[in-house]
Amino acid sequence: MNVSKAATIGFKGEGETIVLIGHSDSHVGQSLWLKECHGRSDGPPPPVDLAAERRAGELIGKLIASGAVSAVHDCSDGGAAVALAEMALAGGIGLSMTVVPQIPNPATILFGEDQGRFVVTTREPAAIRAAANAAQLFAVEIGTTGGDRLTFDLVERGGQQTVSLADLSAAHDGFFPKLMGADAALV
């Protein structure tokens, strides 16, 4: 293994294209979104397609080894939106994403926990799409890295939803002390 080619989850630079790789059946059963936003724990867990999982894993490995991607994160725990937030926090770089009106229920794309889905950043989006297509996997450009905010433009569905990296970081960093009942002065 060549650790100099390892990819981490943190965004590496401004102006990189964000690509979502892997098929989505818009699966939200038993998802973090369903539990946290709707107080429900119902529906079946995401189905597993081992052949597609293998193709996705092999593709991601090849993209990392070739240096075609600079950051990689799976979408298994909270979906693409949570993966993107974690990537932005880890790299200290924001993002802009547009959810097109043709998607009937954007929450299922943003928070669906379908297996074998990954978010990557690249300066070579056409090459990433071509490699994914060759592996019989769906790939679509979903945004761009940059700035100090996460902006999700829900076209024709209420406009932009934005959060600053500073606010997201404060909420993230304050979670465990609140959970554990720690005194703020000790943290």
| Among the listed residues 146, 135, 143, 138, the one whose alpha carbon sits nearest the alpha carbon of residue 63 | 135
Q: How many domains does the chain have?
A: 1
38-76 pLDDT, tens digit per residue, is: 677 777 777 778 898 899 999 999 999 999 999 999 988
pLDDT range class, residue 113, cuts 50, 70, 90: confident
pLDDT range class, residue 9, cuts 50, 70, 90: very high
pLDDT tops 70 at residue 137: yes
143-162 pLDDT, tens digit per residue, is: 999 999 999 887 666 677 88
Please give the residue range of the domain that contains residue 129: 7-92+101-146
**d(C-alpha 19, C-alpha 142), whole Å:** 6
User: What pLDDT was estimated at residue 144?
Assistant: 97
- Domain-embedded: residue 184: no
- Domain-embedded: residue 29: yes
- pLDDT above 70 coverage of the chain, percent: 75
Name the token pair of 98: 């547009």
**d(C-alpha 75, C-alpha 127), whole Å:** 21
**Chain-wide mean pLDDT for the chain?**
83
pLDDT range class, residue 33, cuts 50, 70, 90: low
CATH classification of the domain holding 78 = 3.90.650.10
Q: What's 24-81 look like in SS3?
A: CCCCCCCCHHHHHHHCCCCCCCCCCCHHHHHHHHHHHHHHHHHCCCCEEEECCCCHHH
